[in-house]
Structure 1
Amino acid sequence: MCGIVGIFDTQGNREIDREALRRMNESQHHRGPDEGELYLEKALGMGHRRLSVIDVATGQQPFLNAARDVALVFNGEIYNYRLLRDELVALGHVFRTKSDTEVVMNAWIAWGEDCVRRLRGMFAFGVWDRRKQTLFLARDHVGVKPMFYSLLPSGLFVFGSELKSIMTFPELSRKLNPRAVEDYFAYGYVPEPNTIFHNAYKLSPGHAILLKVGDRAVQPKRWWDLSFNVAPARPEADVEAELIERVREAVKSQMEAEVPLGAFLSGGVDSSAVVAMMAGERDGTVSEGVTTCSIGFDDPEFDETQYAMQVAQRYRTHHHAQIVDKDDYGLIDTLAHLYDEPFADSSAIPTYRVCQLARRHVTVALSGDGGDENFAGYRRYRFAMAEHSVRSKVPEAIRKPLFGTLGSLYPKADWAPRVFRAKTTFESIARDLVEGYFHGVSRLPDRQRDLLFSDTFRSDLQGYRAIDVMRAHAKEAPTDDPLSLIQYLDFKTWLPGDILTKVDRASMAHSLEVRVPLLDHEFCEYAATLPPSLKLRGGEGKYILKKSLEPHLPHDIMYRAKKGFSIPLAAWLRGPLRDAVREAVLGARLVDTGIFNRRYLEKLVAEHHAGTADHSVALWSLMMFDAFLRVSAGA
């Protein structure tokens, strides 16, 4: 795992500033502490920070071919590189190393832009081909590895693994993008392809950019998408057997490394499944030696280490657990520095800690991320389908005015159990599927964002709303099935924008490589062919995955209520962070942006501290936005 950077003169005639390239590269030192190298030629500079995992002795980058007319910087792992190497050798390519980096290089030389369609893995790379006078950038299928870029006013094109690398250029405007601010307070992150700044972008998953000397047009092109073409019905027993073999193969394909390798083990279904397959259980036999790591809390309400221990004992893993203080809130500025833009998922704190723990024992860790998205495991899928079932029974001409009126009249009760939050339910039923799902996942609903923002800022948005992100993806969705559609929306927004971003930054902060076998693109393509009825059945998410895992995992691991990486946020903001909340939310930094309605900020703080309302989500989002402003101003 590594960090990559690059500078490309689109005019093709300027020398690249070596010191500027060095600053870019060193801003990502944490991503690759083992080595750091630069390569420059006229109109091009590339940099690389290396965390050595495969071909430790000879896999240095930037990598040049023998003729020195093609240069590559690559971040990630290619799991089918041995097969591709054999194919390329048969085509006459000669290899000097055993690295997957050289495979990517020769794949470009052999197949050009289509090389990405041959790769199985997680990757972001840039390749300069002097023969064609082109720079090609690509990001993996689902967005496990990041890529940021900008075309500067001077005509220089810059790219890097983290936003901070391209923000080393003073020429890149620090002006906030109003649409990104609206998106952040709706989603809790800034969805692809935008960043929080004007003229700085993320390369979306499954996309590539081809730049040619003399042409300043930057036009990302999609080369992969997830398709939901449901396969013909088969007996469930056959599906279960094939599914387990698919999980086992995906895990096995990602276990190659020349450094210590282990796994995260939360005690949930997905991480436990990965550990079970790593341990190699087959016909009742278990091979010892897997290293596993889990984080627990000193508050039983938030601690799940007992479930992780069950799996660790069953598979005789070398298990490492660490109990952290439930008031582990001292990472706010650290997180703001890691993420480079506002990021409101509070589970970033325990994610940071489990990566910190894992790095003490391994260099590579496998994660269970992706199971919920592939098999409809989140509770919100169940709620969305229940609401959709009601919608489908009531004609739209009646449904919208009826439930819209009920939603407006019913009192707001966010403090109550969900079953009693009829206002929210009525409002969701009045909407269509995409509107309802957006409403369900929004951190701050439309009405609250309207109150939060100043009149001036709402005018700056020019009618833009965060739901437009989901609307755009829904128009391109390759399915009409409602469950598959919202899974697709999560693959385009939540998965790359929140889950994978969170894990990438937290792991790279500790120079830890994290692999996600349940997001192997071939496995995702297979899961997408399974009927929705095998994913969500009778209110049980991940139905077929759990059934297939019953011989491999304890019943209470799979069928207990899902907690996730929860932290006691509301209590923090009323207790030990009470003064910090007031200082951040009511301080000059937020007010001076002109974005916020000061009176509403005061209301949020007063009601939360008085205990008359739970505004923890809004307040945490505001605190992380303030931390972003503070850190970026001092960068």
Structure 2
Amino acid sequence: MCGVAGYVSNNIVPTDRLYKCLKQMRLRGPDDNGLYENRDASVKVGLVHTRLSILDLDPRSAQPFHFQHYVFSYNGEIYNYLELRAELEDLGYSFRTNGDTEVMAIAWAAWGKDALNKFDGMWAIAVWDAKAEQLTLATDPFGEKPIYYIVGPDNSVFFGSQIDCALTLANIKARPNWQHLKRYLVNGYKSIHKTDDSYVEHVRRLPGNKVMEVSTRGINISPYWKVPDYRPDRTQKRADLVASVRETLISSVAKRMRADVPLAFCMSGGIDSNSIIAIASQHLGMDVCGFTIMNKDGRYDEQKLVDLSSRELDVQNEKIVLQTTNFLPALEAMIKNRHGPVSTISYYTQNFLHKAISDRGYKVAISGTGADELFTGYYDHHLLYLGTNFEEPLTRAHALENWEKYTKPQTRNPLLQDPDKYLRTPGAREHVYYKNTYYADFLRDAWHEPFVETIYCGSLMRNRMLNELFHEAVPVILAEDDKNAMAYSIENRSPFLSRELLEMSMTIPDAELIKDGYAKSILREAMAGLVPDQILYERRKIGFNSSLFEVADIKSDHLRQVILDDSPFYDVVDRGKVEEFLGRDLSLNSDSKFLFNLINAKITVDFMEA
């Protein structure tokens, strides 16, 4: 993991702006840095790179990396670089390094952008082709590594791993993007990656699975990979499906353990993180250290399960206890780093998890992101499952009985209480933007943005899961993971985000995903013998969640004053309604989350308008 930035323009960009980008990205790459510019050609170009050394720590892998007539600045990891290296050697190419950067570069020279469909990994790649005078930017399939960009006059493009780098190169000041801030305040975090907007005017985000080509012919953005169709293989026995999931996940985890530095693991009491930890410790024989956020809130407390896992898997565990002190200073620093709000309370607390990982000397953090979206896991998935066309009526009757017994008692959202919801109204999605009409009333002027959903396939449940994977849940997690981890010079990896694993999961019939009231039933069976039974068959869904009350004293006069102080924020938001809101009982989960969003949005505006 590293930092990349650069530009392509008909006009010369002062070199001092490139050096400023190196300073802005120093935490993304504290181990080395480099700069390339060509100011003599008809098209001017500059690339910068800051390096966090993970593979082949030798300076020979430093960037920007030159091969033939290409110059590369690359952030990420190509996990299958050893296999690709062997393939390229068979084609006659030779190598002078031992890492993945040179493999990426030679693969690009050999196959062009078709190389992207050979890579198993995460990346944000900038390629300057000096012969064609073309800049290409490319993101990985799931959008794990960020690229922000600004399009200037004459199709100039200024880009970076961080928003501040794009602003620096374009020489413009950050101004709040009110459309996106309203989206965050009213529709919530699941809406913020439905578009390519950022919280800063003129700054766009290049989504996952995109190639952006910039030349004298113009700018073209297109996908390079087709999301797999849902093609259930009903000829396979359940035991074969389970075996395929186990084999594919173990392969993905093994490749994502490739590193020349120590790895740490984000550890909850759930099956997602424990599947990865169990594979690493029990199957791959690695020494594992897991890091856990400890919650006093009973809804999120996982200490017993974490302790059990640590003991039975024989792994170390570091616990981070949350505090209410320094809430505002810490939040303000995170907002300035992001040029925008922290998406949820959980990602405010995750910041301290990464700090602890860094303090213990680790440079890579492994998480379980993506398992819910591949194998089910959210409460609405159970209702979508009940809306599935079961081949046998008795199967649905049994599923309904299990939902009533096990799932309904844990489901707090009042919009997810009807087991026939999706039989009657397949398009019902009001729970995704929960209470958005109420939150819209806090704005001075009427604002509404309807819910939209991309159609990927005919399965109601799979289509919902793919929207969560590519537009709603996972992109938010990945963006927050990247910002929190990079603030402490840590690379984050997500073994469930594998194209091979997604493609395999799309062959599993919907009816097989939930069994006996258990979401992720296929994954649970696949991990039998590795993950402790008590975790495999724990019905509570917790994950990395936190309560605002554990990290902030929301009754403090100082916090109230910061929220209500005069600000351009109240040119758009009704101050009187916010003041009235603060006087209410905010113990409802939805209200405390909205309060967190209000605080974030106001600090964001105050920071940009200062």
Q: TM-score, normalised by structure 2?
A: 0.88
Deviations 1:528-569 (CA, angstroms, capped at 9, x unpaired): 221122223354211111122232222321232122223232
Give SS of 1:77's match.
strand
Aligned with 1:296 (options 294, 297, 315): 294
Query: Which residue of the partner structure matches residue 461 of structure 2?
Result: 483
What amino acid does structure 2 have at the position aligned with 1:193? D
Q: Which moved more, 1:128-137 or 1:625-634?
A: 625-634
Change (3 A) 1:568 1:102: same
CA distance in 1, matches of 2:424, 2:164: 39
Out of 262, 265, 270, the residue aligned to residue 263 of structure 1 is 265
Question: SS in structure 2 opposite 1:541?
Answer: coil
Q: Secondary structure at the match of 1:217?
A: strand
The aligned runs of 1:13-52 (5 Å cut-off) are 14-42=11-39, 43-52=44-53
Q: Which runs of 5+ in 2 are unaligned?
A: 394-408
Paired position in structure 2 for 1:631:
607
- Contact 1:34 / 1:50 at 8 angstroms: preserved in 2? yes
- Asked if the contact 2:269–2:305 (Cα under 8 Å) also holds between the matched residues in 1, the reply is yes
Q: Is 1:421 aligned to 2:424, yes or no?
A: no
In the TM superposition, residue 298 of structure 1 has moved relative to its aligned partner by: 4.9
**Partner SS for 1:168:** helix
Deviation, structure 1 residue 570: 5.2
The secondary structure found in structure 2 opposite 1:540 is coil
Deviation at 1:577, TM superposition (A): 4.9
RMSD of aligned residue pairs (Cα, Å) = 2.9
- One-letter code of the match for 1:618? F
For the pair 1:336 / 2:335, whether they are aligned, the reply is yes
Query: 229, 235, 238: which one pairs with 2:237?
Result: 235
Judging changes above 3 Å, is the alpha-carbon distance between structure 1 residues 426 and 562 closer, same or farther for their aligned structure 2 residues?
closer
CA deviation profile, 1:44-70 (whole Å, cap 9, x unmatched): 1101111101011021000011x4x21
Letter in 2 for 1:187: G
| 1:194 Cα offset (Å) | 1.5
Is 1:209 matched with 2:199?
A: no
User: Which among 432, 448, 461 is matched to residue 438 of structure 2?
Assistant: 448
Partner AA of 2:308 in structure 1 = Q
Q: SS in structure 2 opposite 1:88?
A: helix
1:465 corresponds to:
449
Choose between structure 1 and 2 for higher RCO, CA contacts under 8 A separated by at least 6 residues.
2
Give TM-score scaled by structure 1 length.
0.84
Distance 1:317 1:531, change over 3 A: same
Shift in CA distance, 568/446, structure 1 to aligned 2, threshold 3 Å: closer
Distance 2:558 2:450 in 1: 28
Structure-2 separation of matches of 1:386 and 1:590: 47
d(CA) in 1 for partners of 2:588, 2:258: 54
Is the contact made by 1:144 and 1:496 (CA closer than 8 Å) also made in structure 2?
no
Amino acid at match of 2:323: D
Give the stretch that moved more between structures: 100-109 or 151-160. 151-160
Distance 1:613 1:321, change over 3 A: closer
Deviations 1:222-262 (A, max 9, x none): 53424322223322222222221111111111111111123
Residue from 504, 511, 522 that aligns with 2:482: 504
Give, in whole Å, the separation in 2 of the partners of 1:254 and 1:423. Answer: 36
Residue in structure 1 matched with residue 560 of structure 2 by the alignment? 582
Equivalent position amino acid for 2:579 in 1:
E
**Residue number in structure 2 paired with 1:602:** 579
Query: Pairwise mapping of residues 515-554 of structure 1 onto structure 2 (< 5 A)?
Result: 515-554=493-532
Q: Could you tell me how far apart the structure 1 residues matched to 2:425 and 2:126 are?
A: 41
| Contact 1:374–1:487 (8 Å) recurs in 2 | yes
Q: Is the Cα contact below 8 Å between 1:377 and 1:542 reproduced in 2?
A: yes
Instruction: Give the letter for the 1:103 counterpart.
Output: V
Query: Does the CA contact (< 8 Å) of 1:4 and 1:161 recur in 2?
Result: yes
Residue equivalent to 1:564: 543
1:240 partner SS: helix
The residue type paired with residue 454 of structure 1 is R
CA contact (8 A) 2:297 2:547 kept: no
Aligned pair 1:223/2:225, yes or no? yes
User: Does structure 1 conserve the Cα–Cα contact (< 8 Å) formed by 2:210 and 2:221?
Assistant: no
Residue 409 of structure 1 aligns with which residue? none
Aligned-pair CA distance for 1:381: 1.8
Structure 1 pair 142–513 and aligned structure 2 pair: CA distance change class (3 A): same
Q: How does 1:331-370 map to 2 (within 5 A)?
A: 331-359=330-358, 360-370=360-370
Give deviations 1:596-629, integer Å, cap 9, x for gaps.
23343233222236x7996212211110111222
- After TM superposition, the structure 1 stretch with the greater mean CA deviation from structure 2, 350-359 or 251-260, is 350-359
* 1: CA distance, partners of 2:473 / 2:228: 13
Equivalences for residues 306-317 of structure 1 within 5 A: 306-317=304-315
Aligned equivalent of 1:620: 596
Q: 1:254 aligns with which of 249, 256, 270?
A: 256
Call closer, same or farther: CA 1:422–1:217 in 2, change over 3 Å.
closer
The yes-or-no answer on 1:112 pairing with 2:90 is no
What one-letter code is carried by the residue in structure 2 that aligns with 1:500?
Answer: L
- 1:143-162 to structure 2, matched below 5 A, reads 143-153=143-153, 155-162=155-162
Given the superposition, is the C-alpha separation of residues 218 and 174 from structure 1 closer, same or farther in structure 2, using an over 3 Å criterion?
Answer: farther
> Structure 1 residues 110 and 25, CA, compared in 2 at 3 Å: closer, same or farther?
same
For 2:436 and 2:56, the matched residues in 1 are separated by: 51
Unaligned runs of 5+ in 1: 394-415, 459-463
Cα pair 1:206 1:225 within 8 Å, conserved: no
Q: Distance in 2 between matches of 1:612 and 1:130?
A: 58
**TM-aligned CA deviation for residue 375 of structure 1:** 0.6
The range that moved more, 168-177 or 232-241, is 168-177
User: 1:173, 1:431 → 2: CA distance?
Assistant: 50
The one-letter amino acid paired with 2:460 is: P
Identity of aligned residues (%): 24
Query: 1:420 offset after TM fit, Å?
Result: 8.9
Cα deviation, 1:446-483, whole Å, max 9, x if unaligned, reads: 3124312222x63xxxxx61513x3xx23xx1x11111
Aligned to 1:403: none
What is the aligned partner in structure 1 of residue 131 from structure 2? 131
Q: CA deviation at 1:383?
A: 4.2
User: Aligned partners of 2:245 and 2:166: how far apart in 1?
Assistant: 42
| Mean CA deviation greater in 329-338 or 115-124 | 329-338
Query: What is the one-letter code of the residue matched to 2:112?
Result: G
Q: Are residues 1:7 and 2:7 paired?
A: yes
CA gap of 1:103–1:583, structure 2 versus 1, over 3 A, is same
Change in Cα spacing, 1:483 to 1:73, as seen in structure 2 (3 Å) is: same
Distance change (3 Å), C-alpha of 1:426 and 1:336: farther
CA distance in 2, matches of 1:207, 1:543: 33
Which sits farther off after the overlay, 220-229 or 154-163? 220-229
1:320 and 2:322 correspond: no
Checking the alignment, whether the CA contact within 8 Å between 1:177 and 1:196 is kept in structure 2 is yes
